[in-house]
Structure 1
Amino acid sequence: MTEVSSHKSASIRVLCFLWRIFADFYGLIILIRKVLFLIVLLSGCTAGPDFKRPVAPQAITYAPQAIVATASANSLHGKAQFFSATKQIPADWWLLFGSAKLNALIERAFLANPDIEAAQAALRQAQQSVIAQQGFFYPTVGVSYSPSRNKLAGNNGGSSPGMQGNGTLIQTYSNPAGPKFNGPAYYNFHVAQLNIGYVPDVFGSQRRRVESAEAQAQMQQMQLQATYITLASNLVAAAFQEASVRAQLAAVERVIAINHENVEIMRRQLALGYLAEIDLAAAESALAQSQQVLPTLRNQLEQTRDLIRALSGHTPDLDVPETFELTDLQLPAELPLSLPSQLVEQRPDVCIAEAKLQYASAQYGVAIANRLPQFSVQAAMGGMAAAPDWMFRTGGGFFSVIGNVAQTIFDGGTLKAQSKGAEQALAQAAAQYRGTVIAALQNVADTLHNIEFDAQTLAAAAASEQASKKVLALTRNQYQLGYVSYQALLLAEQAYQLTTLSLVQAQTARLGDTAVLYQALGGGWWNWPADKAVVPNSLQGVNAS
């Protein structure tokens, strides 16, 4: 029965406590409602200009005369290429060159390259900055509890120096067996408090700060896209360079073998008296000159291999298994050609410039809002007593609500100058965006011209190589019959060697121009398939949005 009475008594105390809390804070609730209503009315204002995407270019071509198709050549990688405005750029555009080894190399590099890892970390940091900035929209809530044990000097004590509720706050010590005296005062003190702080975004300062943080996150996201595209493009270019150097090495080695054979034949002829010594000296000089090219080409090959290892995330001592030959690659016949209005939405550098423009616009809004009144609300509630169980009883509870409106009257022109500076930063970002767009359009136009004229160069190089090859064969036959001197044969061999190297370089240029076009048009990052393992999560998130 005593236990039941105790529970009833406790329940009654709790109900009484809740009623007192309600009664004490009813006025606070009414006040908060009025303040919130005022904040809602004022929060419709956002300082500064709202960002609007720049107008896309109205051009429909990249040159006064549109390019429809390229020339063709009777050579490896010599077929004509056609342009299509409707053809999409695949995200893994390097597959169009028909090399499984190239695809394997790029996929491994995406997972191991430190630049990719750094760009991903930068994006995650920017995304967390957005979340942190959004937190300022909400109140800050904190709690504190401070227990203490205190002693006062004896001459400050007394029989009843403090009362709270139904008991004393400070109790003095006296000796009941002796005379009464005021001893030192010992007391406990407990304070529990709930603090709430809120800065209403009356003029949109926080909204502009969030907008600027989101723009920075967009910059990092597009920077990550650019890092992937640049890495893939550099690996493709390095693979083409390796294939080109290997083809040039093979051509030079064929010439060296022919020259070496000529020297051996001429030495035998000289021993038999059928040949002048000057002809043998000329043959030996030609052999030495052709051999002189080998170290340079081999150095280029090793440096290209070093570049491929570095781009793959490997140190120079770790080789990559893939090697590349021109005959292993294919030249895509149909090429994409998006409109200039689409280009500004697809190229990462233009998207980054647009994000910088939005960031500058938001920062201008922040600078304007900083010149307007600043509002804040602070509230606290809690209890204090000599014992924890008395903190929220009669007389132990407390609360406070403090509103604050602050307006800078004079600061030497600092805020005004900051606002003017932010306005000029916005103008600068707008000009830089226009410059980036112009440079992007020029980049595509230059690439299209390279594709057009390098195709013509390959056609001429192929014709020259075939002609010099025919001349060499005829000259060799005439030399064997004694109709021409060895000097004539030597000149024919040198001409054929030069045209062969030029043909290899022209073939490589056509492959490289095609890869540069895919990069110049944006790299196709927006077309990543969701089920492809090599696709980074951040890119998939862009597609989903």
Structure 2
Amino acid sequence: MSFPYKTSVLAVAAALAISACSFGPSGEPPAMPSPEHYGAQAQPAKTVAAGGVAQTFDVGATTGPQWWRLYHCAALDALVDEGLRNSPTLAATQKTLASAQEQLRAQIGSSTLPSIDGAAQVQRARSPVAPQLGLPEQVQYNFFAGQLQAHYTFDLFGQTRYANSASAARVNVQAFELEASRRALAANIVAATINVAALDREIALTERLVAVSNDAANEDAQRYALGAVSRAQAFGSKQDAASIAATLPALRQQRATAVHALAVLIGRTPDNAPSVPDLDSLSLPEHVPVTVPSDLLRSRPDIQAADAAVKAAAADVGEATAQLFPSLSLTGAMGRGGFSWPAVVSGAGGLWAIGASLSQPIFHGGALFAQRRASIDAYDAAVLHYKATVLSAFEDVANSLAALDNDAQTLASTEDAAEAARSAFHDTASRHRLGSLPSAATHASETRYLNALITAARAAGQRMGDTAALFQAMGELPEAQQASASTAKTGRS
């Protein structure tokens, strides 16, 4: 008599042990290398001085939430604020996230709590009967009923828990993607503003260059008419002036395209494009953060999204495994019913029902096992995608750090060249005023000076844009983690 009892106890114990086990991977992301520095060579402590600024790389620092304010330009701040406030793309992403969060709440509520529904029925019916029983050929009657129905499925093996965990992780993916979109929008607005400002300066210098070239061509044409220069030199000057003038429409088109894109980024139509600050009104940030690799895994929203995707895929494996095990459901109902209202409210009108159902998958044509194998493959793919995302993030930071160092050297060289060209131009202009040099020499010297200034303007814009790219590449730690990282840095100091 004790053998069946012991068997039942062992069966219950086994079921509890199985339900306590994890049916899927832990969902923790794979360990990634933590290099001492990002690039092939360690970045210097600071760049060379260029444009009056030697940028310092603050190792261990983190990017602030409004890093664009480090350019100290109120007009730029206003453009970014307007974009974050009015961008329809960002607003659509926010609404998509809000929808996903509400759907998750609905899924958790419907799957973890009993469902209770109310039902009422009123019916008028007529039924035929046999006349030989001494009853009328037809019977007409009324029927009234009202009841509450309840249903609950026990999550014995965690199928519901895993499904909800997967959905919650996917909502987290969308939340991190929203943060990535927000940061990308700010970075794009800053980059577009810098690009337009640099183009404005280049266009102004090119317009002056065109004027100088036209003056030189007109003078050579007059001198050719007087027989002072050859025909070849006169046409050569005219060709040079026309070639320089041909670059202006392309620059103006680049500027129009950039300012139209900026208008759309901040939520305006292209015909209502904003005014852009001058390049000189933008201050290059002197201190740029270099987040350590271990913190970069938590500061970059794309890495956090890949981490959440790994957790979702791990929960999918658990859910697919739990589908192989039994499912237990309880149903119950209670209410009142009868063929007349007095009968409904009397003691004889009570209705109730209770039941339980247990189902165990036996044969599904291999579908359940195939779904589990597919979930495992999807999990492996999510892990590999996480690794690729981390490596790509390291590459972004390495390229940005190298770009800032090289940009500073480029700008320093172009500034030296522009200063030499300026000195030569002033010397040539002075000698021309004294009558020792012809005007052609002055035009040629000013042309070289203007070309040097154009090259320096491009280098300055590139350096500012690459600085914004580095802030974007570093991501942003949550406030609590920022405080922790700051404390750790102080302790190391």
| Residue 78 of structure 2, aligned match among 104, 125, 133 | 104
Return the offset for 1:40.
9.1
Using the alignment, how far apart are the partners of 2:273 and 2:306 within structure 1? 38
1:238 matched to 2:213? The reply is: no
1:390 matched to 2:343? The reply is: yes
1:540 paired residue number: none
| Residue 48 of structure 1, aligned match among 24, 30, 36 | 24
Structure 1 unmatched runs, 5+: 1-36, 160-171, 173-181, 529-545
Structure 2 unmatched runs, 5+: 1-12, 481-493
2:3 paired residue number: none
Asked if 2 retains the 8 angstrom alpha-carbon contact of 1:203 and 1:372, the reply is yes
1:351 matched to 2:304? The reply is: yes
Return the offset for 1:56.
5.3
2:478 paired residue number: 526
Q: Could you say if the C-alpha distance between residues 415 and 39 of structure 1 is closer, same or farther in structure 2, counting changes exceeding 3 Å? A: closer
Q: Could you say if the C-alpha distance between residues 326 and 302 of structure 1 is closer, same or farther in structure 2, counting changes exceeding 3 Å? A: same
Asked if 2 retains the 8 angstrom alpha-carbon contact of 1:225 and 1:525, the reply is no
2:147 paired residue number: 193
Using the alignment, how far apart are the partners of 2:256 and 2:193 within structure 1? 12
> What is the DSSP-based 3-state SS (H/G/I as helix, E as strand, rest coil) of the residue aligned with 1:67?
coil
Q: Could you say if the C-alpha distance between residues 43 and 380 of structure 1 is closer, same or farther in structure 2, counting changes exceeding 3 Å? A: farther
Asked if 1 retains the 8 angstrom alpha-carbon contact of 2:418 and 2:453, the reply is yes
Return the offset for 1:280.
4.2
Return the offset for 1:488.
6.4
Asked if 1 retains the 8 angstrom alpha-carbon contact of 2:57 and 2:288, the reply is yes
- Percent identical among aligned pairs is 29
| Residue 421 of structure 1, aligned match among 363, 367, 374 | 374
> What is the DSSP-based 3-state SS (H/G/I as helix, E as strand, rest coil) of the residue aligned with 2:478?
helix
Amino acid in the other structure paired with 2:368: L
Asked if 2 retains the 8 angstrom alpha-carbon contact of 1:91 and 1:527, the reply is no
Using the alignment, how far apart are the partners of 1:364 and 1:54 within structure 2? 17
1:18 paired residue number: none
Q: Deviations over 1:448-475 (max 9, x none)?
A: 0001111111111111222233334445
Q: Deviations over 1:162-199 (max 9, x none)?
A: xxxxxxxxxx7xxxxxxxxx363221111222211101
1:139 matched to 2:114? The reply is: yes
Using the alignment, how far apart are the partners of 2:106 and 2:22 within structure 1? 20
Q: Could you say if the C-alpha distance between residues 480 and 263 of structure 1 is closer, same or farther in structure 2, counting changes exceeding 3 Å? A: farther
Q: Could you say if the C-alpha distance between residues 414 and 270 of structure 1 is closer, same or farther in structure 2, counting changes exceeding 3 Å? A: closer
Amino acid in the other structure paired with 1:145: A
Amino acid in the other structure paired with 2:418: E
Stretch deviating more after TM superposition (457-466 or 345-354): 457-466
Amino acid in the other structure paired with 1:317: D
Asked if 2 retains the 8 angstrom alpha-carbon contact of 1:157 and 1:185, the reply is no
> What is the DSSP-based 3-state SS (H/G/I as helix, E as strand, rest coil) of the residue aligned with 1:317?
helix
Asked if 2 retains the 8 angstrom alpha-carbon contact of 1:46 and 1:203, the reply is no
Return the offset for 1:385.
1.1
Larger Rg: 1
RMSD: 2.8
Using the alignment, how far apart are the partners of 1:420 and 1:39 within structure 2? 23
1:285 paired residue number: 239
> What is the DSSP-based 3-state SS (H/G/I as helix, E as strand, rest coil) of the residue aligned with 1:313?
coil
Amino acid in the other structure paired with 1:510: R
> What is the DSSP-based 3-state SS (H/G/I as helix, E as strand, rest coil) of the residue aligned with 1:68?
coil
1:31 paired residue number: none
Asked if 2 retains the 8 angstrom alpha-carbon contact of 1:383 and 1:396, the reply is yes
1:456 matched to 2:409? The reply is: yes
Amino acid in the other structure paired with 2:463: R
TM-score by length of 2: 0.87
Asked if 1 retains the 8 angstrom alpha-carbon contact of 2:169 and 2:308, the reply is yes
Q: Could you say if the C-alpha distance between residues 255 and 157 of structure 1 is closer, same or farther in structure 2, counting changes exceeding 3 Å? A: farther
1:381 matched to 2:334? The reply is: yes
| Residue 65 of structure 1, aligned match among 42, 48, 57 | 42
| Residue 467 of structure 2, aligned match among 514, 523, 540 | 514
Using the alignment, how far apart are the partners of 1:421 and 1:405 within structure 2? 27
Using the alignment, how far apart are the partners of 1:507 and 1:156 within structure 2? 106
Stretch deviating more after TM superposition (437-446 or 145-154): 145-154
TM-score by length of 1: 0.79
Asked if 1 retains the 8 angstrom alpha-carbon contact of 2:431 and 2:437, the reply is yes
Return the offset for 1:384.
2.1
Using the alignment, how far apart are the partners of 1:190 and 1:338 within structure 2? 72
Amino acid in the other structure paired with 2:114: P
| Residue 433 of structure 1, aligned match among 353, 361, 386 | 386
Asked if 1 retains the 8 angstrom alpha-carbon contact of 2:213 and 2:443, the reply is no
Using the alignment, how far apart are the partners of 1:310 and 1:503 within structure 2? 29
Q: Could you say if the C-alpha distance between residues 468 and 272 of structure 1 is closer, same or farther in structure 2, counting changes exceeding 3 Å? A: same
Amino acid in the other structure paired with 2:93: A
Amino acid in the other structure paired with 2:85: L
1:113 matched to 2:87? The reply is: yes
Using the alignment, how far apart are the partners of 1:95 and 1:156 within structure 2? 95
Using the alignment, how far apart are the partners of 2:101 and 2:343 within structure 1? 47
2:452 paired residue number: 499
Q: Could you say if the C-alpha distance between residues 402 and 284 of structure 1 is closer, same or farther in structure 2, counting changes exceeding 3 Å? A: same
> What is the DSSP-based 3-state SS (H/G/I as helix, E as strand, rest coil) of the residue aligned with 1:90?
coil
2:125 paired residue number: 150
Asked if 2 retains the 8 angstrom alpha-carbon contact of 1:218 and 1:352, the reply is yes
Q: Which has the higher helix share?
A: 2
Paired positions, count: 466
1:169 paired residue number: none
1:168 paired residue number: none
Amino acid in the other structure paired with 1:244: A
Asked if 2 retains the 8 angstrom alpha-carbon contact of 1:151 and 1:185, the reply is yes
Return the offset for 1:369.
0.6
1:186-335 maps to which residues of 2 (within 5 A)? 186-263=140-217, 265=219, 279-320=233-274, 322-335=275-288
